[in-house]
Structure 1
Amino acid sequence: MTEQSLDAIWALLLAARDQRGRPGDQGRTFGLRLSADGQPELRTADDAQAALIWRGDAFEVGPGLPPDAVDFVELYLPVLAAQPEQPVVVGHLGQSIDAQIATRSGDSCYVTGPENLTHLHRMRALCDAVVVGAGTVAADNPRLTTRLVAGTNPVRVVMDTDRRLTGDQRLFSDGEAETLLVCCRDRVSQEEHAPNLLAAPRNGAGLDLQAVFAALRRRGLHALFIEGGGVTVSRWMKAGLLDRLQIATAPVMIGAGRPGLALPASETMRACRRPPFKLFKMGEDVLWDFDLRGEAPDHKESAPPRQAPVRLQ
Structure 2
Amino acid sequence: MITNTISKDQALSGWINGFIGVLLFSGSLPATKLAVMDMSPIFVTIARAGIAGVLALAVLLIYKEKRPVKGQILPLVLVSIGCVIGFPLLSSLALQYITSAHSIVFLGMLPLATAVFGVLRGGERPHPVFWFFSIVGSLLVIGFAVSQGISASPIGDILMLAAVILCGLGYAEGAKLSKTLGGWQVISWALIIALPLMIPLFFIYFPDHVETVSTQGWLGLAYVALFSMFIGFIFWYKGLAQGGITSVGQLQLLQPFFGLALAAYLLHEPVSIGMLGVTIGVILCVAGTKKFAK
- Smaller-chain TM-score bracket: under 0.3
Structure with the bigger RCO (C-alpha within 8 Å, sep 6+) is: 2
| TM-score of the two chains, using structure 1 as the length reference | 0.22
Flag the structure with higher strand content: 1
Flag the structure with higher helix content: 2
